[in-house]
Amino acid sequence: MMENFVIIGANSFQNRLILKAKEMGLRTHVFAWECGDIGEKTADVFYPISITEKEKILEECRKIKPCGIASIASDLAVITVNYVAEALHLSGNAYKDSVICTNKYAMRGAFAAAGVPVPKFLKVSAPPCREALAGFRFPLIVKPTDRSGSRGITKVACFEEIADAVHASVAHSFEKCAVIEEFIEGDEYSCECISYGGKHSFLAFTKKYTTGAPHFIETGHVQPSDIPERYAEGIKRDVFKALDALNIRVGASHTEFKLDADGNMRIIEIGARMGGDCIGSDLVYLSTGIDFVRAVIDTACGRAPDLTPEHGAEKATIRFIFNERDISEFEQAKRDPLKHICYVSDMESENMGAVTDSSNRVGYYIYTEQL
């Protein structure tokens, strides 16, 4: 008899998971707010229940009796995944730990308690007084405790700039709080891993390109990264220690960090899920040949993942389009015989304009090149 598999979320990223689960012979049960997303049609059974309605989803899952439950690239969905997994004794991380992973302040606290180096940090709900920031070294970063996608984030150079930045972060925050933390210098990367039974396997380092200060909007990602070989093993050790600090024992993870010129790494944040922006769902497979999406389903079903590469290593890039200049670079890439364009998203040209957060994106494309 066909086994049942539950997926939380139905948008185009989650669709990769739905299609892979079907390819693996599983019957897919997909939960999401009904809004015309692709997964509503590709699912074997679709349930129009919002991904945050964890009690209602659990009730349905008791009837479905799935062999596993998963989601990719959404922190909110991960909370529901682990809530249901815990209640039904399925493979997953502890519910209380997944809540920590969605709050930047709680995460900093967990790192500090486990001896993972963190920048000085402070939680506020209103602009702090000068004394509250005694000992903090400027520049600082101010960000909402519980949002993503670079919303409401500002780098501030001096105390006078703090108030506006805090107001902006608090306005974006669901719990109306902001974290103020010291700015970490260096280039920005992420580390993609899969864990099973508390053992972590490294898959890839990703180099991240952003617009830089003041808002740090992501403009593209490349695998493999340009991290010098001599730093790689030390960074992996630090990442694994940070995953342990958050008690991430099973499934995908995406660890964002900065690396300075002397090889010192500092963690920005960890998601107990694949990296969004196609990092997990596409780039890892294209650059390493390892089927990361299949591995997520395997670990969610309580099986060790098969990490055998299906093809040789390549360089894989995703580029986001914000303006006319990006569009002409895209046209050039299409003509470049050394670049193989693998995927082009829909283009929403009405988004074109000022770049203030990742919702200003017009679209994106993915390409590979020989290493």
Ligand X SMILES: Nc1ncnc2c1ncn2[C@@H]1O[C@H](COP(=O)(O)OP(=O)(O)O)[C@@H](O)[C@H]1O
* The entry of Mg ion, ligand X, none that residue 119 binds, CB within 5 to 8 Å by partner kind: ligand X
Stretch that binds Mg ion, among 77-85, 117-125, 215-223, 254-262 (CB under 5 A): 254-262
Task: Please tell me whether residue 269 binds ligand X under the rule CB under 6 A.
Answer: yes
Stretch that binds ligand X, among 79-87, 181-189, 222-230, 363-371 (CB under 6 A): 181-189
98/31 Cα distance (integer angstroms): 19
Q: In what order do the strands lie in the sheet with 45-47?
A: 45-47, 27-31, 4-8, 68-70
Question: What sign does the dihedral 360-107-243-154 (CA atoms) show?
Answer: positive
By CB under 6 A, how many residues form the interface with ligand X? 17
Q: Are the C-beta atoms of 306 and 294 separated by less than 8 Å?
A: yes
Residue 108 C-beta: closest distance to ligand X, Å: 9
* Residue with the two structure tokens 């200003």: 360
At residue 261, what are phi and psi to the nearest 5 degrees? -60, -25
Task: Please tell me whether residue 150 binds ligand X under the rule CB under 6 A.
Answer: yes
Task: Please tell me whether residue 175 binds ligand X under the rule CB under 6 A.
Answer: no
349 three-class SS? helix
* The entry of ligand X, Mg ion, none that residue 305 binds, CB within 5 to 8 Å by partner kind: none
Task: Please tell me whether residue 68 binds ligand X under the rule CB under 6 A.
Answer: no
Task: Please tell me whether residue 256 binds ligand X under the rule CB under 6 A.
Answer: yes
By CB under 5 A, how many residues form the interface with Mg ion? 1
Residue 68 C-beta: closest distance to Mg ion, Å: 27
Stretch that binds ligand X, among 63-71, 93-101, 146-154, 291-299 (CB under 6 A): 146-154
Task: Please tell me whether residue 220 binds ligand X under the rule CB under 6 A.
Answer: no
Looking at the Cβ atoms of 258 and 294, the one nearer to ligand X is: 258
Cross-strand pairs, 123: 179
348 three-class SS? coil
Q: Out of 153, 165, 267, 316, point to the residue binding ligand X (CB under 6 A).
A: 153
At residue 210, what are phi and psi to the nearest 5 degrees? -130, 170
Q: Out of 8, 72, 73, 181, point to the residue binding ligand X (CB under 6 A).
A: 181
* The entry of Mg ion, ligand X, none that residue 50 binds, CB within 5 to 8 Å by partner kind: none
What does each C-alpha distance from 321 to 216, 315, 345 come to in angstroms? 15, 20, 10
At residue 317, what are phi and psi to the nearest 5 degrees? -130, 140
Cross-strand pairs, 366: 318, 343
* The entry of ligand X, Mg ion, none that residue 150 binds, CB within 5 to 8 Å by partner kind: ligand X
Residue 170 C-beta: closest distance to ligand X, Å: 15
87/182 Cα distance (integer angstroms): 39
Q: Out of 141, 178, 193, 283, point to the residue binding ligand X (CB under 6 A).
A: 141
Counts for the chain of helices (H) and strands (E), in that order: 11, 16
Stretch that binds ligand X, among 10-18, 148-156, 281-289, 312-320 (CB under 6 A): 148-156
57 three-class SS? helix
Q: Over the Cα atoms of the chain, what is R_g? A: 20
Task: Please tell me whether residue 149 binds ligand X under the rule CB under 6 A.
Answer: yes
199/167 Cα distance (integer angstroms): 41
Task: Choose among 182, 184, 186: nearest CA to 263.
Answer: 186
72/77 Cα distance (integer angstroms): 8
Residue 357 C-beta: closest distance to ligand X, Å: 8
218/226 Cα distance (integer angstroms): 17
The 79-108 site mask, x for binding ligand X (CB under 6 A), equals -------------------------x----
Residue 181 C-beta: closest distance to ligand X, Å: 5
Task: Please tell me whether residue 268 binds ligand X under the rule CB under 6 A.
Answer: yes
Binding site for ligand X (CB under 6 A): 104, 119, 141, 143, 148-150, 153, 181, 183-184, 188, 210, 216, 256, 268-269
Using CB under 5 A as the criterion, which residues of the chain lie in contact with Mg ion when the complex forms? 256
